[in-house]
């Protein structure tokens, strides 16, 4: 019987660290403290140190992390925020949750991340911020984005939801912009056992605003000096993330090994992920391109190989976001060709080789 290969296997990861996870969960249960306690505080310190920043604030999701980051910058109704359409809907949804308007620009043809040359045309007197997305584990080209932002007095909020451990010019993502938003959705390189997120910053004032906003604007006496929301990371998820954080570098190294194996077989038959020399890609997804993507995907499935598409319909072409419609030719062309092949740290070399052989047999 043909063995099926899936895009991800979360059970395999859990089994590999089960004893450590059991200890962490038991510790939280024994403490009797479940919201914003010692586990969250410890995870915030450890994650900030890993990313080379001063402050990390645990929140309930990556979406909230972007929303809170923008709110901390004072962004709201009447403002515009530049980002891309080739991303998870969460990026655009978070901008709209602040009351601001997303302004979508096209992406670089090789990395599919925000093309800095498109920023000037998107700039208006209402522009307040840029949200570059480090897509699939590849950092966006931050230096020209930051230069543009400085020249025009704009905030930069990095969307790092898919880039835990990725680096740009040798420095981890998350510390380049004014703030950065991370997601700990279970499938991420660093994933919780439920929803979770974090905001990172080197600015103490912005960090304090995010801490207030994530819990109703409460001060130490639970008095709301400003309006906020409930967007807290809970103790159980923080304890689990502390365990997984110790393994992140090794897991990312394994992702890069598997990506290199794919590249050694498929360089001549597919358009493979591009890793610019100034970046350290962590391959949250291994996204290839093929002009007959749908036929290739069906062929792989016939051979027991499951794939995904990240993302099949760009945000500006989806029904809920037709008011953002604009011409984004690179984004739209890529959406018809992209295919995410199986890749996760526990995937075996022989499974990757089998995927590659099936791809090579496709005609």
Q: Are 285 and 62 in contact (CB under 8 A)?
A: no
Q: Are 88 and 183 in contact (CB under 8 A)?
A: no
Q: What per-residue confidence (pLDDT) applies to 58? A: 98
Q: Diameter of the chain by CA atoms?
A: 68
Q: What per-residue confidence (pLDDT) applies to 221? A: 85
Neighbour-count burial for 168-204, b at 16+ CB within 10 Å, e otherwise: beeebbbbbbbbbbbbbbeebbbbbbebbbbbbbbbe
Q: What per-residue confidence (pLDDT) applies to 363? A: 76
Mean residue pLDDT across the chain:
97
233: which DSSP letter? P
Domain boundary among 229, 245, 261: 245
Using the predicted structure, report yes or no on whether residue 1 has a pLDDT greater than 90: no
Chain-centroid distance of CA 353 in Å reads 27
Q: Are residues 232 and 258 in the same domain?
A: no
Q: Are residues 173 and 241 in the same domain?
A: yes
> Is 4 within a domain?
no
Spatial separation of the C-alpha atoms in residues 146 and 162, rounded to whole Å: 20
Using the predicted structure, report yes or no on whether residue 118 has a pLDDT greater than 80: yes
Q: Are residues 54 and 169 in the same domain?
A: yes
Share of the chain above pLDDT 70, in %: 100
Q: Are residues 64 and 146 in the same domain?
A: yes
Q: What per-residue confidence (pLDDT) applies to 93? A: 98
Q: Are residues 202 and 280 in the same domain?
A: no
Q: Are residues 32 and 166 in the same domain?
A: yes
> Is 283 within a domain?
yes
Reading the block at residue 84, the tokens are 């891309």
Intra-chain end-to-end CA distance of the chain, in Å:
24
> Is 61 within a domain?
yes
Using the predicted structure, report yes or no on whether residue 49 has a pLDDT greater than 90: yes
Q: What per-residue confidence (pLDDT) applies to 219? A: 85
pTM > 0.95: yes
Q: What are phi and psi of 347, to 5 degrees?
A: -65, 135
Domain boundary among 185, 214, 245: 245
> Is 282 within a domain?
yes
Q: What is the CATH number of the domain that holds 185?
A: 3.40.640.10
Nearest Cα to Cα of residue 138 among 267, 264, 255: 255
Sheet holding 55-59, edge to edge: 55-59, 197-201, 179-183, 155-159, 127-130, 80-84, 101-105
Reading the block at residue 202, the tokens are 């080197």
Spatial separation of the C-alpha atoms in residues 157 and 220, rounded to whole Å: 28
Tell me the average pLDDT across 164-187. 98
Q: Are residues 240 and 200 in the same domain?
A: yes
Domain boundary among 245, 271, 295: 245
> Is 2 within a domain?
no
Q: Are residues 131 and 223 in the same domain?
A: yes
Using the predicted structure, report yes or no on whether residue 119 has a pLDDT greater than 80: yes
Q: What per-residue confidence (pLDDT) applies to 279? A: 98
> Is 5 within a domain?
no
How many residues does this entry show for the chain?
Answer: 363
Q: What is the CATH number of the domain that holds 265?
A: 3.90.1150.10
Q: Are residues 121 and 169 in the same domain?
A: yes
Q: Are residues 238 and 297 in the same domain?
A: no
Q: Are residues 159 and 304 in the same domain?
A: no
Q: Are residues 214 and 264 in the same domain?
A: no
Each residue's pLDDT tens digit, 218-254: 988 899 988 999 999 999 999 999 999 999 999 999 9
Spatial separation of the C-alpha atoms in residues 272 and 270, rounded to whole Å: 6
The answer, yes or no, to whether the previous bond of 311 is cis (omega within 30 of 0) is: yes
The answer, yes or no, to whether the previous bond of 159 is cis (omega within 30 of 0) is: no
Spatial separation of the C-alpha atoms in residues 297 and 163, rounded to whole Å: 25
Each residue's pLDDT tens digit, 249-301: 999 999 999 999 999 999 999 999 999 999 999 999 999 999 999 999 999 99
> Is 84 within a domain?
yes
Using the predicted structure, report yes or no on whether residue 138 has a pLDDT greater than 90: yes
How many domains are there within the chain? 2
Tell me the average pLDDT across 148-176. 98
Spatial separation of the C-alpha atoms in residues 312 and 339, rounded to whole Å: 9
**Full domain range(s) for residue 266:** 248-361
Each residue's pLDDT tens digit, 12-22: 999 999 999 99
Neighbour-count burial for 86-115, b at 16+ CB within 10 Å, e otherwise: bbbebbbbbbebbebbbbbbbbbeebbbbb
Band (161; pLDDT cuts 50, 70, 90): very high
Using the predicted structure, report yes or no on whether residue 94 has a pLDDT greater than 90: yes
């Amino acid at each position: 019987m043909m063995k099926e290969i899936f895009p991800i296997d979360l059970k395999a990861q859990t089994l590999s660290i089960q004893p450590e996870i059991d200890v962490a969960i038991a510790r939280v249960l024994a403490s009797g403290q479940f919201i914003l306690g010692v586990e969250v505080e410890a995870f915030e310190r450890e994650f900030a140190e890993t990313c080379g920043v001063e402050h990390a604030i645990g929140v309930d999701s990556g979406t909230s992390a972007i929303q809170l980051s923008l709110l901390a910058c004072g962004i709201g109704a009447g403002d515009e925020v530049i980002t891309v359409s080739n991303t998870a809907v969460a990026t655009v949804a978070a901008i709209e949750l602040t009351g601001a308007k997303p302004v979508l620009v096209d992406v670089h043809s090789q990395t599919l991340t925000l093309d800095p040359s498109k920023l000037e045309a998107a700039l208006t007197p209402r522009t307040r911020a840029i949200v570059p997305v480090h897509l699939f584990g590849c950092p966006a080209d931050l230096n020209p984005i930051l230069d543009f932002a400085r020249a025009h007095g704009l905030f930069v909020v990095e969307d790092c939801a898919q880039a835990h451990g990725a680096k740009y010019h040798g420095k981890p993502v998350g510390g380049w912009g004014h703030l950065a938003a991370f997601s700990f959705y279970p499938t991420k390189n660093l994933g919780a056992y439920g929803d979770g997120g974090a905001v990172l910053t080197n600015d103490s004032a912005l960090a304090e605003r995010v801490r207030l906003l994530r819990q109703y604007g409460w001060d130490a006496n639970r008095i709301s000096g400003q309006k906020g929301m409930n967007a807290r990371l809970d103790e159980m998820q923080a304890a689990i993330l502390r365990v997984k954080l110790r393994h992140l570098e090794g897991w990312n190294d394994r992702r890069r090994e598997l990506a290199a194996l794919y590249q050694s077989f498929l360089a001549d038959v597919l358009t493979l992920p591009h890793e610019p020399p100034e970046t350290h890609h962590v391959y949250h997804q291994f996204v290839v391109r093929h002009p007959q993507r749908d036929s290739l995907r069906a062929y792989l499935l016939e051979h027991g190989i499951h794939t995904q598409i990240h993302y099949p319909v760009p945000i500006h072409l989806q029904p809920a976001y037709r008011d953002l419609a604009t011409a984004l030719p690179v984004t739209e062309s890529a959406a018809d060709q992209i295919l995410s092949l199986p890749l996760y740290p526990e995937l075996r070399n022989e499974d990757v080789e089998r995927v590659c052989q099936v791809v090579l047999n496709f005609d």
